[in-house]
Amino acid sequence: MKIFTVRLIFSILLMTCMAGGGPAAQAAEKKETAGKAERMEKMSDESMAALSCFGYGYKLKVLVNGVDVGVAGGKSENRRLFAADSPMASQAPPETRKKSFVLKKGENTISIEFTKQSDDKNDRMEISLEMDGYPAPLFFLQGRLKPSGKVEKSFVVSDVPPADFKPVFVTDQGDGKAVLVHMSSLFTSMTPVLNGKSGMTISDMPGTTVLDNIVLGKNELMLKYSGKPGVEAKFCVITPEGVKFLAKKITGPSEASESFQFVVK
């Protein structure tokens, strides 16, 4: 199952040979094509998704396609998930093979059971599933209000992000009660501001933050960002009105901003 985007760089020697034409060029091209297919297959075998669970104060159980992947809660946990039909599965220990090789091409399911075990109001849980080449998490859950519950959702895994890709975003506050902002670019700093209140700043590395100070009526979201000149700052924003993907070229050292509005009825 091919999940990652593969970039192949042809050598200068091969390009020179091919430019000359003739049997030698054809043989070189055939050899390179075979090698390219072999490299693509190898990288496909090693492809994976990253499951990150932040569950201080919570007891958790996470199932992917009906398989318990071994998340317990109460701390920060990370799991690597692979294709169920990956040749690497035969080389993995039985327990790892059972819990980690669970993904399939097409529709997958994730089920999360949670119980809050702490009285600390600052405790929260965040669970994300991310895959290389995608502009945002496949799945993101944040909870901090409900004492217990169960979430069941589906997500799609494909060779490349589909044109209509939309992250699955869930909070325990209900639909339309929060905004998700994900930054996928490096060497960039971004602070979201919702209705005049600043959210968590994400800096230099990809990350996700949720803002829940939504009001009835008109809301205004501003992304304040800066970074290394020449870098393209990339963001995904989910509001009650839908999903937006933004790409903004950083042209100088000064902070820039992008604003838009949405209405909650």
Q: Which residues of 127-136 are buried (b: 16+ CB within 10 A; e: fewer)?
A: bbbbbeebbb
Residue at which a domain ends, from 138, 172, 206: 172
pLDDT of 252 strictly over 80? yes
- Count of structural domains, the chain: 2
pLDDT at 48: 82
Residue 262 within any structural domain of the chain? yes
Is the same domain home to 157 and 205?
Answer: no
Is the same domain home to 94 and 206?
Answer: no
pLDDT of 164 strictly over 60? yes
Neighbours of 186 (CB within 10 A): 13
Is the same domain home to 107 and 195?
Answer: no
pLDDT at 204: 94
pLDDT of 22 strictly over 80? no
Q: Are strands 188-194 and 202-203 parallel, antiparallel or unpaired?
A: antiparallel
Is the same domain home to 167 and 187?
Answer: no
Is the same domain home to 193 and 244?
Answer: yes
Residue at which a domain ends, from 122, 138, 172: 172
Selected residue with higher pLDDT from 28 and 193: 193
Instruction: Tell me the residue range of the domain where 102 lies.
Output: 48-172
From CA 76, how far away is CA 58, in angstroms rounded? 11
Is the same domain home to 146 and 182?
Answer: no
Average pLDDT estimate for 189-214: 96
Going through the chain in order, the beta strands assigned E by DSSP cover 48-54, 58-64, 67-68, 76-83, 101-103, 106-116, 125-131, 139-143, 148-157, 168-171, 179-183, 188-194, 197-198, 202-203, 207-211, 217-227, 232-239, 242-249, 256-264
Q: Which of 181, 177, 263, 259 is nearest to 219 (CA)?
A: 263
> Binning pLDDT at 50, 70 and 90, where does residue 122 land?
confident
Q: Which pTM value belongs to this model?
A: 0.80
Is the same domain home to 79 and 164?
Answer: yes
From CA 188, how far away is CA 248, in angstroms rounded? 11
Is the same domain home to 265 and 184?
Answer: yes
Q: What digits encode the pLDDT tens for the residues 211-232?
A: 999 999 999 999 999 999 999 9
Residue at which a domain ends, from 128, 151, 172: 172
Is the same domain home to 147 and 184?
Answer: no
pLDDT of 46 strictly over 90? no
From CA 199, how far away is CA 225, in angstroms rounded? 13
